[in-house]
Amino acid sequence: MSVKTSTLPKRYHEAVLKWKEVFLPDYDFLMENWDKHFPNDPEFQLCAYRELGMCTEIECGDLKGKPKAQKPSDMLPEQAHHLFGAIRAQASTEFGSIQQHRLTLARAQEEEEQFWILRMMAEELRHGYQMLHLLVEDDWSSVSKESASDVFEDILSMTTGSHLLGAFNIDFDSFVDNVVFCALIDRVGKYQLAMQKISAYQPMAESMPQMLREEAFHLAAGVVPMRRWVMGAARGETFVTMEVLQKAINKWLPRGLEMFGDERGGGTNVRLGLKPMKNSEAQRQYYDEVAKLVRDLNLRYLRARVADLTHAGSEAAFDRILAGETVEGVRREDLLHIPHMDFFRRRGVPSFRMVGDQGETFATVPEYLQHLVCTLPESYRASRDYKEYVQALTEVQEGRMTAEQAAGKMPALRRVAGACPCSKSVRWMVDEPSLIPAVTAESQPAVGQPVA
């Protein structure tokens, strides 16, 4: 197994460096302190990695067994179109997550955790670079009217609010968001990268292994601080309580589920050999993984809260608590739970259905909003994102709009002028109703593809 490294042509490489100066100003600080926090780890390099020696035949779908495409023109037009959208969306998420993380990075309580997130941001920059490399290296003119430089500029000019996927358009409110985002949203990223490892486009498949290696640590950078926080909460520390963590999970999990795309879609990607699983299958596996994370956190909490509990004892106690008992003063509501899959959804099958975090349903908008007051972070409820959700929900429930229309009507920042990555060239825009494309099971995944 060997890895080939390469860099973007000079002018593109320098544009990424310029973007880094604006959105990742702590990069140099990270490099200066690299050996202190990551002793003996290889030095970080801003480049694209390609793993050589991978499978050269298409691994699923109608073309299974045929040679993988080496360049866009080798692909069917439909294949190339889908893949181009996926690469572009993925690039957007990588740069988008850095813009989110930087807002609250300085609020970390522990230096170690802060450096973990900072390293993760640098690696997300590399992931974005990797995707740009795919877009710039080859000729995509058969599927895009935009030139490579226009696509490049478009991606680098996006800011929080103008990215292609919802999870990357939500501002962070505290360092809890940095951590929970890593544990939940980067986990979607892991799925997307793992699925794309079999891509019928060889350069895409070869780009995935190194990204997946880096993503493994990004998940740890979320899960380990969460484990430490629940231990602290169990001991009575009030820095990050179970309630704060629960609300952060409630905020991010619905967006993570939506990143897989519409539950009815994904078949086209499988047929075209771009991914091995349909959206609903991958989404279900993801949800089960988060359920395991939540269970592990609860067991960690119990062991810290109740002295002399054994491993088996903690599992038994946990089951009793779930059944409604109070064990050693611990009640079910003291623990974390995974929100229902249909909770607070704005895309996909359950969008705008008013399902509560426990799966209960609500008959009226005011009742549901009252439920959201109790289940979502206060700071998030003061955001533009939440306000627009409430407005769309109200219109859907009053019959003035369908859920599909509402999903397309959620506001997004759009680039309205200029291309400089650091310009203020984006504005809040809402699609005119006549411009809202019909959302179908197969069309929605085009915006619901990737991932950080």
Minimum Å distance from CB 227 to other proteins?
6
Residue 428: C-alpha distances to residues 170, 340, 449 (Å): 13, 31, 23
Minimum Å distance from CB 174 to other proteins?
22
* Residues facing 429 on adjacent strands: 412
- Where does this chain touch other proteins (CB under 8 A) — which range of 70-78, 82-90, 167-175, 219-227? 219-227
Alpha carbon 165 to chain centroid, angstroms:
8
66 is a contact residue toward other proteins (CB under 8 A): no
76 is a contact residue toward other proteins (CB under 8 A): no
Minimum Å distance from CB 219 to other proteins?
5
**# chain residues binding other proteins, by CB under 8 A:** 32
How many other CB atoms are found less than 10 A from the CB of residue 15?
18
Residue 8: C-alpha distances to residues 28, 48, 157, 417 (Å): 20, 8, 18, 25
Buried b (16+ CB within 10 A) or exposed e, 158-169: bbbbbbbbbbbb
- Rule CB under 8 A: which of 375-404 touch other proteins? none
Minimum Å distance from CB 112 to other proteins?
9
Of these, 143, 211, 240, 299, which contacts other proteins (CB under 8 A)?
Answer: 299
DSSP state of 110: S
Closer CB to other proteins, residue 223 or residue 446? 223
Count of residues in the chain? 452
- Rule CB under 8 A: which of 25-64 touch other proteins? 38, 40-41
Is residue 201 within 8 A of residue 207, CB to CB? The reply is: no
* Residues facing 361 on adjacent strands: 355
Q: For the CA atoms of 61, 67, 73, 77, what is the dihedral angle to 10 degrees?
A: -10
- Pairing type for strands 412-415 and 48-52 reads unpaired
How many other CB atoms are found less than 10 A from the CB of residue 28?
11
Of these, 63, 132, 211, 223, which contacts other proteins (CB under 8 A)?
Answer: 223
Minimum Å distance from CB 135 to other proteins?
25
Mask for 110-129, x = binds other proteins (CB under 8 A): ------x-------------
Of these, 5, 45, 149, 285, which contacts other proteins (CB under 8 A)?
Answer: 285
Of these, 220, 369, 390, 422, which contacts other proteins (CB under 8 A)?
Answer: 220
321 is a contact residue toward other proteins (CB under 8 A): no
370 is a contact residue toward other proteins (CB under 8 A): no
Residues 6+ apart with CB under 8 A from 310: none
- The CA distance from 92 to 104, in Å, is 20
Is residue 182 within 8 A of residue 221, CB to CB? The reply is: yes
Closer CB to other proteins, residue 164 or residue 234? 234
Of these, 300, 340, 347, 381, which contacts other proteins (CB under 8 A)?
Answer: 300
- Rule CB under 8 A: which of 159-218 touch other proteins? 190-191, 194-195, 213, 216-217
Closer CB to other proteins, residue 222 or residue 408? 222
Closer CB to other proteins, residue 182 or residue 327? 182
Alpha carbon 130 to chain centroid, angstroms:
17
Is residue 95 within 8 A of residue 154, CB to CB? The reply is: no
Give residues in contact with other proteins (CB under 8 A). Answer: 1, 38, 40-41, 116, 190-191, 194-195, 213, 216-217, 219-224, 227-228, 231, 282, 285, 289, 292-293, 296, 299-300, 303, 310-311
